[in-house]
């Protein structure tokens, strides 16, 4: 099981990748062996025939020799006031005094969402805002093109007056 008692702050992508690789290496090194000591071959993540995350967040690997291996579980954090979280950019949020402290729970229980393996997350883009921005940009472009057309007509009229 993963220890989440001291989880705080945010991780960079490199930190996250480093932690994931270390966790996988540690888990694979602890595999039980059913061969004699002299015949033990080093195991790695690549030796798994498949890998998935169950609905309750359990990390499960299927190994050709050792069968199903349970590596741990992904816990989710809920907050009393999710709107009180501070946005730190790139869809990341941080705990704040307004949000309250995180409550870690098993996915699908205690008001948390479920974990769905092998699925794409729905976009977090606000379509109403994007369409409003698109319409505003389009109207601005139309207005600017009319200004250029009008300026061109005025300059043409000035040239004709001079003749």
Sequence spans of domains, the chain: 13-105, 125-163
Q: 111 in helix, strand or coil? A: coil
pLDDT value at position 140?
Answer: 92
List the end-to-end C-alpha distance of the chain, in Å, as a whole number.
Answer: 89
The CA-based angle 115-120-122, given to 5 degrees, is: 95
Among 53, 88, 89, 50, residue whose Cα is nearest residue 66:
50
Per-residue pLDDT of the chain (163 residues; tens, 9 = 90+): 344 444 444 445 566 566 666 666 666 665 555 443 445 566 666 778 888 888 888 888 888 888 888 888 888 888 999 899 998 887 788 999 999 998 888 888 887 888 888 777 777 778 888 999 999 999 999 998 888 888 888 888 888 887 7
pTM value is 0.44
């Amino acid at each position: 099981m993963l220890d989440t008692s001291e989880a705080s702050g945010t991780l960079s992508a490199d930190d996250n990748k480093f932690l994931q690789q270390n966790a996988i290496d540690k888990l694979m090194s602890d595999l039980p062996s059913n061969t004699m000591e002299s015949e033990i071959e080093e195991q790695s993540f690549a030796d798994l025939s498949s890998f998935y995350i169950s609905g309750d967040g359990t990390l499960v690997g299927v190994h050709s020799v050792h069968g199903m291996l349970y590596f741990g579980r992904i816990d989710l954090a809920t907050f009393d006031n999710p709107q009180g979280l501070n946005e730190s950019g790139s869809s990341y949020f941080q705990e704040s005094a307004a949000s309250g402290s995180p409550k870690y729970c098993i996915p699908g229980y205690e008001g948390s969402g479920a974990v769905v393996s092998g699925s794409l997350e729905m976009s977090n883009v606000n379509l109403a805002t994007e369409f409003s921005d698109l319409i505003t940009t389009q109207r601005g472009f139309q207005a600017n093109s009319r200004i250029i057309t009008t300026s061109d007509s005025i300059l043409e009229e000035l040239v004709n007056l001079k003749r």
